[in-house]
Structure formats: C-alpha cells, structure tokens
Amino acid sequence: MTPISSPFQTPEQRQADRAAKRDAVLRAAVRMFNEKGFHQTSLDDVAARLGISKPTIYHYLGNKDQVLLECVSRGLGQIIEAAAEARREAGTGADRLAWFLRRYAQINMDDFGRCVIRTGDEALASESQQQFRALKRRIDNALRELIGEAIADGSLAPTDPKLLAFTIAGALNWPARWHDPDGEHAPADLAEYLVTNLARGYLPR
C-alpha cells in the first residue's frame, strides 16, 4: 500500500516550518538594520520585503526590540561557539588565539556579527540591554582567557590581557563598519591580514 500523503503537518514539520519562518524574518530584518540603521527601519519595512504583515512578525519573533535582541544574540552566539571550538584546537595558546581571532573577524563581517557591532547598547530596551551586555561580557572573558593561557604557556609576550583584548577586538570589530561584502577583499583574506598584523604586535620578539 502506498502511504496516504496527509495535508496536515506532523509536530516535527510544524516546528521546522516555524524555525524556517523565524530565520527568514531575522535574515531580512538584520540586513535592513545593517543597511538603513535600526532606528530608520520599521517592522513594516521588514514585513513588506517578505510580503507578509507586521502581526506575522510579532507572532514569530515579537516586537522590534525583541527582533534586534534575537539578531545580536545570534551573532554573539556564533562567536561564543567559535571560542569553545578554539579551546579544543591543537597547538600553542597563541595558535588557539589566532584560530579564534580569524573566526571572530569573519563573523563580524557576516550579517548577524555585523549587527552586533553596529548596535549600541542604548538602542535596546533596558531588559534586552542587560542580556546583550551579558553575552558581550562572555566574549570579552573568553578572549581574555585565551590571551591569558597563551601568556601562561609562553607563546605570547606578557601584557595586560584586558587591554590587549580591547586592542585586538577593536581592530577586528571595525570591518563591520567599512567592509563591503561585495568589495575587493574576501572576508577570509581580510581576517588573515588583520590577525597576522595584530599577531606581530603581541607575539614574543
């Protein structure tokens, strides 16, 4: 007997369908926030680009503040994951740091990472702001730990981990403001250039 194809979705299908719709809304929203700025973009604009209505966005994601929080949380989530992966890499502490920094730079040139950098804390409502700050603190700490470990195993010149973390982060965050995804520099090449130049600064001479 051939199985009867049902017009009703299974719970798994419904869940996958819901996730796909959330993704589509987030991707459209983050691109518009990055292009036009958060304050210059309305959820009506986002809905129009997807050919849906604003209440549909509310249904899948919530209000504009919640949409922005979800966008930056995705970007920060990618970086937190990269830090965890870096910890499992072979080599010296400096090797693991460089591995993380290359990923970090590339994520910042991608949609959600770009949104993290372009979003000032003050754009978010106060509760979302706290979540945003807490995620950013995790990344600051992960970066400082990777630096601390590299100093400890002698693969990095001794320095203040907090200040070095800020120096590196600044250089690797900045492409979110100027790098053109359709421009002459591929994200991987640019990441390599930035990390190589920074590494010459912090590696032992």
Given 22, 66, 166, 187, the residue binding its own copies (CB under 8 A): 166
**Shortest distance in whole angstroms from residue 32 CB to its own copies:** 11
- Report the residue from 14, 36, 133, 137 that binds its own copies according to the rule CB under 8 A: 36
Tell me how many degrees the CA angle 158-195-110 measures, rounded to the nearest 5: 130
Segment interacting with its own copies (CB under 8 A) among 68-76, 78-86, 89-97, 175-183: 175-183
Q: Which amino acid is at 103?
A: R
203 token code pair: 């590696």
Residues 94-153 that bind its own copies (CB under 8 A): 118, 120, 122-123
- If we measure between CA atoms, which residue out of 164, 47, 187, 60 comes closest to residue 113? 187
The single residue among 27, 54, 171, 187 that binds its own copies, judged by CB under 8 A, is 171
- Assess 75 for contact with its own copies (CB under 8 A): no
Q: How many residues sit in the footprint of its own copies (CB under 8 A)? A: 35
Kindly write down the DSSP assignment for every residue of 6-48, as one continuous string.
Answer: PSSPPHHHHHHHHHHHHHHHHHHHHHHHHHH-TTT--HHHHHH
Q: Should residue 67 be labelled a site residue for its own copies when binding is judged by CB under 8 A?
A: no
Each residue 3-22 as x (binds its own copies by CB under 8 A) or -, in order, gives --------------------
Choice from 25, 61, 191, 194 touching its own copies (CB under 8 A)? 194
Question: In this structure, are residues 151 and 162 in contact, taking their beta carbons and an 8 Å threshold?
Answer: no
Number of CB atoms found within 10 A of residue 81's CB: 12
Half-sphere exposure of 170 (CA within 13 A, CB side): 6
Give the CA dihedral 33, 38, 40, 44, nearest 10 degrees: 70
Residue from 23, 37, 89, 181 that binds its own copies (CB under 8 A)? Answer: 37
Instruction: Please report, as ranges, the residues that interact with its own copies according to CB under 8 A.
Output: 36-37, 39-40, 118, 120, 122-123, 159-160, 163-164, 166-175, 177-178, 185, 190, 193-194, 197-202, 205
